Amino acid sequence: MPATLPFAAFTALVTFLVSFPIMGLKLVKEGTQLTLQSGTPGAWTFIGLAVLTVFLFQLFRPQIAGATAGLRSRLPAMPSVMPEDEAQKARIERVILWVLIGVALIFPFASSRGAVDLATLVLIYVMLGLGLNIVVGLAGLLDLGYVAFYAVGAYSYALLNEYFGLSFWAALPIGGLLAATFGFILGFPVLRLRGDYLAIVTLGFGEIIRILLNNWTSVTGGPNGIGGIPKPTLPAIQTDPELAVVGLEFGRRAKEAGNVPFHEYFGIAYNSSYKVMFLYIIALLLVLATVYVINRLMRMPVGRAWEALREDEIACRSLGLNRTAIKLSAFTIGASFAGFAGCFFAARQGFISPESFTFIESAIILAIVVLGGMGSQLGVILAAVLMTILPEVAREFAEYRMLMFGLVMVVMMIWRPEGLIPMKRPKLELAQ
């Protein structure tokens, strides 16, 4: 008798106990009463198969593990494409970056409207991922309520526009600033907490913001949300009838007084895809700015301090580093990027409601960061692309989305626990 037999029998029993009430029994309505009936023969076959599979897998687990061990050692052959030489590596990375930017710039002119629209969504998630990456990846603070700052950004544009008529370009910095302020206000009391406690408080904060937006009906419209948020305009100079700066709108007709439709200004035929392209380009510019800023931050004293604080907090304190201020800076800067992203999201959608800012959003953004590799910019971008595009591509399997999600997470933990592209911190080298 193999040693695995008792355990295999036990797991088979558990499988049966779990699947039997779910698949093997059926509730049938007879008049006003519910009666319990046995399931279809097909369902019973499935249960039998499941039990058998689990039993056999557990029984022959050592043999299976032995067979797949060879497979696993062959899997991670991917990272070795990069040469070992650091300088050469940096050069290659720079080339890859420029090629990516080039492709991203040409992309809207060479693909369909739907693809550009999807790419814009991807860019929003890239921005959110990069922003959260500062907090989680660089400063090592687990934030489960990041979506709150996203919501603050989105609602600040929507509300500022509704009540004060502010344009997108005026609201963008204000949205970022407001989100940063919220980050600061939240961070101040909670950053003395560690790890798990911080995660729980931020989780709560995310929910508070959402529930507040949901219930403050007189201002935010509650669950009905806010609609009719104008799209961004392109500032241009008009010479006729008089010299003035006007906003170019991308609709067929200008909705706001003083604005001019884009196609009329340039004297070209109206095309609805201009609007999508324009949104895409704004998103791309925002992402590029984000990438640049974070790249600088990592090389600046504050970036070094984040890293040091993650490594040894006590040593930092002994050297005169104010840990609260440093953590707060990460929290605030991270939040401001969510604010920018939210502002843009509101402008793109034209309609926002608390629905868009549920916990699952926070979870997805966090998944992007973890999947990509904490602290790694390229990794986060790649993960954002995957996480946004895959569900769109595999629409037929939408019901299995969460299942796939879990599966991918498990596989990643085994295969590449440090993320798709593990972080390589830019090290300051001393010229010798």
- By CB under 8 A, name the binding residues for another protein: 293, 296-297, 300-302, 304-305, 307-308, 311-312, 314-323, 329, 333, 425, 427-430, 432
Using the minimum distance from each CB to another protein, give the nearer residue, 206 or 303.
Answer: 303
Strands 244-249 and 260-261: parallel
CB of 373 to another protein, least distance (A): 15
- Phi/psi class of residue 230: alpha, beta or left (left: φ > 0; alpha: ψ in -120 to 50)? beta
Using the minimum distance from each CB to another protein, give the nearer residue, 294 or 367.
Answer: 294
Using the minimum distance from each CB to another protein, give the nearer residue, 276 or 333.
Answer: 333
CB-CB neighbours of 400 under 10 Å: 11
CB of 238 to another protein, least distance (A): 32
CB of 174 to another protein, least distance (A): 18
CB of 167 to another protein, least distance (A): 25
Q: Reduce the DSSP state of residue 216 to 3 states and report it.
A: coil
Q: Which of 188, 192, 183 is nearest to 152 (CA)?
A: 183
CB of 96 to another protein, least distance (A): 24
Contacts of 425 (CB under 8 A, 6+ apart): 298, 307, 375
Distance from C-alpha of 159 to C-alpha of 152, rounded to nearest angstrom: 10
Using the minimum distance from each CB to another protein, give the nearer residue, 71 or 430.
Answer: 430
CB of 191 to another protein, least distance (A): 14
CB of 363 to another protein, least distance (A): 28
Using the minimum distance from each CB to another protein, give the nearer residue, 115 or 293.
Answer: 293
Using the minimum distance from each CB to another protein, give the nearer residue, 119 or 141.
Answer: 141
Using the minimum distance from each CB to another protein, give the nearer residue, 332 or 388.
Answer: 332
Using the minimum distance from each CB to another protein, give the nearer residue, 8 or 326.
Answer: 326
CB 357 within 8 A of CB 209: yes
Distance from C-alpha of 232 to C-alpha of 116, rounded to nearest angstrom: 17
CB of 289 to another protein, least distance (A): 10
Contacts of 309 (CB under 8 A, 6+ apart): 139, 140, 316, 321, 323, 326, 327
- Give the tokens for residue 29: 């309505």
Q: Which of 221, 171, 432, 202 is nearest to 335 (CA)?
A: 202
Ordered DSSP codes for 250-283: -SSS-SSTT-EEHHHHHT----THHHHHHHHHHH
Cα 2 versus chain centre, distance? 47
CB of 313 to another protein, least distance (A): 10
Using the minimum distance from each CB to another protein, give the nearer residue, 89 or 296.
Answer: 296
**Torsion 114-119-122-124 (CA) sign:** negative
Angle of helix 273-299 relative to helix 323-349, nearest 10 degrees?
Answer: 170
- Give the tokens for residue 379: 């990794």
Q: Reduce the DSSP state of residue 239 to 3 states and report it.
A: coil
CB of 323 to another protein, least distance (A): 7
According to the 3-state scheme, what is the secondary structure of 108-119? HHHCCHHHHHHH
Using the minimum distance from each CB to another protein, give the nearer residue, 312 or 392.
Answer: 312
Look up residue 229 and give its DSSP letter: P
Peptide bond before residue 241 is cis, with ω within 30 degrees of 0: yes
CB of 322 to another protein, least distance (A): 5
Using the minimum distance from each CB to another protein, give the nearer residue, 300 or 360.
Answer: 300
